[in-house]
Amino acid sequence: MTLTLTLREAPAAPVLAEAVRPDRLAGMSAAEIERIELRHGNRPAALRELFAVAGGGTDDLRVAGDLSRVAGLGKGMAGGRLTIDGRAGAHLGAGMTDGEIVVEGDAGDFAGAEMHGGRIVVRGSAGRRLGGAYAGSRAGMRGGEILVHGDAGEEAGAGLRRGVVAVARRAGDAAGLSALAGTIVVLGALGANVGVLMRRASIVAMTPPALPPTYARAATYRPSFLPLMLRRLRELGLPVTDELIGGR
């Protein structure tokens, strides 16, 4: 039976909810879950003060409500499935190593930041530093898949080391900033300064961006890996056409 946490009302202050992750809550009783300590503004708060709890005994977790002020959902999760029935706050799935997160609305800044594995699917748009590195860190996302059906904010994939970040619509300025490896796919437009300080990573842009001064046009060709990757993204629900798969 799916474990469901329903936000009682819009929180008066930001909530830090790093403990809300399916691999941690699996097997716990409702009473144990209700006693878990979260952070509401500058004070601790029991989970039951903010969420109504139903179901349990599984690593299939659903969180419902406008969670745009609830940060850290699924942070560090190592398995299971987390569904956000609404908007999600910042740091969603940051540092996760396995499992799947699906957001039915938008996601805040730093979604999937420094994640090592698993999959994040955002049905709406995502904020800045999607799959990126935190300030002072040398590496961002190190593995896994992030798929955004809407737009992404500035510096998507900043510090990328491994994995795939795919955006169905527009990505903001400085996508791929300081990326070392991995792949960013953007089906819509790209902002300015794309790939600045990038070394070995790939940015697949279906709408040709303005090249930064340190880049020069080299050739028109069809990389052998690209049709395989695009078919994979179509299987996962992104609007990839046959024209894109067969194009140069």
pLDDT at 214 over 90: no
Tell me the residue length of the chain: 248
Does residue 103 sit within a domain? Answer: yes
Res 97: pLDDT: 98
Residue 130 corresponds to which tokens in the numbers above? 């999607």
Task: Read off the pLDDT band of 1 (50, 70, 90).
Answer: confident
> Do the domain assignments include residue 175?
yes
When pLDDT is cut at 50, 70 and 90, the band that residue 181 belongs to is very high
Structural domain contains residue 172: yes
- pLDDT in the model for residue 138: 85
> Rounded mean pLDDT of 68-86?
97
CA–CA separation, 115 and 129 (whole Å): 12
Is the pLDDT at 123 greater than 90? The verdict is: yes
Q: Would you say 122 and 150 are in contact if contact means Cβ atoms under 8 Å apart?
A: yes
Mean per-residue pLDDT over the chain, rounded? 96
The CATH number of the domain where 154 resides is what?
2.160.20.60
Asked, for residue 74, whether it belongs to a domain, the answer is yes
**Single pTM value for the model:** 0.96
The Cα 167–Cα 163 span in angstroms is 14
Q: What is the pLDDT averaged over residues 160-175?
A: 98
Residue 3 reports pLDDT greater than 90: yes
- State the average pLDDT over residues 171-192: 97
- pLDDT range class, residue 57, cuts 50, 70, 90: confident
Q: For residue 78, give its domain range.
A: 60-246
Provide mean pLDDT across the span 7-21. Answer: 96
**Quick check: is 36 in a domain?**
no
Confirm whether 72 is domain-assigned: yes
pLDDT at 152: 98
Q: Is 214 part of a structural domain of the chain?
A: yes
Total count of domains within the chain: 1
Q: What pLDDT shows up at residue 109?
A: 98
Write out the chain in H/E/C secondary structure: CCEEEEECCCCCCCEECCCCCHHHHCCCCHHHHHCCEEEECCEEEEHHHHEEEECCCCCEEEEECCECCEECCCCCCEEEEEEEECCECCCCCCCCCEEEEEECCCECCCCCCCCCCCEEEECCCECCCCCCCCCCCCCCCEEEEEEECCCECCCCCCCCCEEEEEECCCECCCCCCCCCCCEEEECCCECCCCCCCCCCCEEEECCCCCCCCCCCCCCCCCCCHHHHHHHHHHHCCCCCCHHHHHCC
Is 6 part of any domain?
A: no
